[in-house]
Amino acid sequence: MTPENVLAMAKENKIKAVDVRFMDFPGIWQHFTIPIAELELASFDEGLGFDGSSIRGWQPIHASDMLVMPDPNSAKIDPFFEEPTLVLIGTISDPVTRESYTRDPRNIAQKAEAYLKGTGIGDVAYFGPEAEFFIFDDVRFESSKNSAFYMIDSAEAIWNSGRDECPNLGYKIRHKEGYFPVPPADQYQDMRTEMMLVLENLGIKIERQHHEVATAGQAEIDMRFKPLVEMGDQLVWFKYVLKNVAKRHNCTVTFMPKPLFEDNGSGMHTHISIWKDGKPLFAGDKYAGVSQMALYAIGGILKHCKALCALTNPTTNSYKRLVPGFEAPVNLAYSGRNRSAAIRIPMYSPSPKAKRIEFRTPDPSCNGYIAFAAMLMAVLDGIENKMDPGDPLDKDIYSLPPEELANVPSAPGSLDEALAALKADSEFLMKGDVFTKDVIDMWVEYKTDKEINQVRLRPHPHEFFLYFDI
């Protein structure tokens, strides 16, 4: 779509306002709105100014002016605003040098796509994330100097089986049994369908929706695979739509990886493939029907997985899910069909076009642009350096004897460990200037100061349970 097409689209749909959106460094969509009269053809080349010092992880106050450059190809009409509003996603530029901003996540994703093409390995990398989430009916939390608590609730949660609901009909999903009974046990079917249809109306192709394993409204809606930057755009729309549809129903959606104790957390299993000239490059005659290139790609992810986790599992809460001995894919191995390995080769279809690898460790708290770009850089490093992933592990990893499990590497056990791995292993990310040193340094600094230390310094409510009577 051209800028002229965007203006024509606005006129045809009687648009009254334009919402300009971009992703901040940690991964929250930001926006400001202008009257439609302020959007001109020049806006797409000259950009629109804003204060970059107020965005998390970006500019210092003495160099705050930044430009957002609207992408005409991103134009969509917002499905929730009262007045007809056009949405444009933008990338960020420096107003003095006019160069793309290194810490803009969408810019990082664009550079990763350009690097792929520059290698000659392929011309498109497809990503298909399965971003799981929870729908809750109520959430309350507080973290202050002298108190801390959280409380979540769901009408279908098993802990409400004894609640007086005048009447309680007893349709509650037991822990780990949410995959996937029909209604009335599944109480969010209609809401998920509404989410699915709103996404489809925005042009986002959906493959399926369903309840997930945990009680209390855990769910999954799967988008059809798309190229890296396009999927980054779709993931932010995905989160936006789900949260706003839930709000229509007086509910809330969270992509926190582990909001429940002793039940399944939310992952974001990500399907990856590389194509060239319209042909899939991961199909072949090797193990599980993949090509040698795909095996090298697996080798790259396994080699760099500990560093990747700092970007694909970027919260302290992520590591409440990534715990050895439970169902999360912490074991750095690969296998066909085997869901206990960090990398699975799906076997649903014999078609070469369906052949891909599935990286199961990531979770949906990540910034999609950054996470997908990092995954691609690991894949390309594996291919360029012919990294042998070793033998597949076709056994149930969770049932391996301790002496055998000791030989299987594991993902980091904390965000601290993941950031340390990132500091030690970041050169593969900086090829082609995709990630820059200032991006890595600011990511580590921000996560350490704003998240790790803030959690580390605070007493945990369970510590009172354990230690108050000492």
Active site residue ranges:
51, 130, 132, 212, 220, 269, 339, 358, 360
d(CA 258, CA 379) in angstroms, rounded, equals: 27
User: DSSP label at 174?
Assistant: P
Number of H helices, E strands in the chain: 13, 18
State how far the Cα of 392 lies from the Cα of 400, in Å rounded to an integer.
Answer: 14
Reported as type and span, the H/E element at residue 378 is helix 368-384
- Cβ atoms of 275 and 124 within 8 Å: the answer is yes
Tokens of 447: 């996560």
Q: Do 364 and 103 form a contact (C-beta atoms < 8 A)?
A: no
Partners of residue 140 on adjacent β-strands: 151
**CA neighbours closer than 13 Å in the CB half-sphere of residue 466:** 5
Question: Which are the contacts of 62, defined by CB distance < 8 A and separation ≥ 6?
Answer: none
Q: Quote the CA–CA distance of 206 and 36 in Å, as a whole number.
A: 31
Q: Do the beta carbons of residue 232 and residue 105 sit within 8 Å? A: yes
Judged by phi (left if over 0) then psi (alpha if -120 to 50, else beta), residue 294 lies in alpha
Residue 19, classified by CB atoms within 10 Å of its CB into exposed (0-12), middle (13-18) or buried (19+), is middle
d(CA 301, CA 303) in angstroms, rounded, equals 5
User: Taking a C-beta distance cutoff of 8 angstroms, is the pair 425, 307 a contact?
Assistant: yes
Distance, in Å, from the CA atom of 460 to the CA atom of 261, rounded to the nearest integer, reads 14
User: Longest Cα pair distance anywhere in the chain, in angstroms?
Assistant: 71
For 18, residues 6+ apart whose C-beta sits below 8 A from its C-beta are: 10, 33, 34, 35, 36, 38, 39, 85, 86, 87, 88
Partners of 448 in the beta sheet?
Answer: none
C-alpha–C-alpha distance, residues 345 and 355, integer Å: 8
Contact 112, 376 (CB under 8 A): yes
Taking the alpha carbons at both ends of the chain, their separation in whole angstroms is: 67
Q: Are 303 and 387 in contact (CB under 8 A)?
A: yes
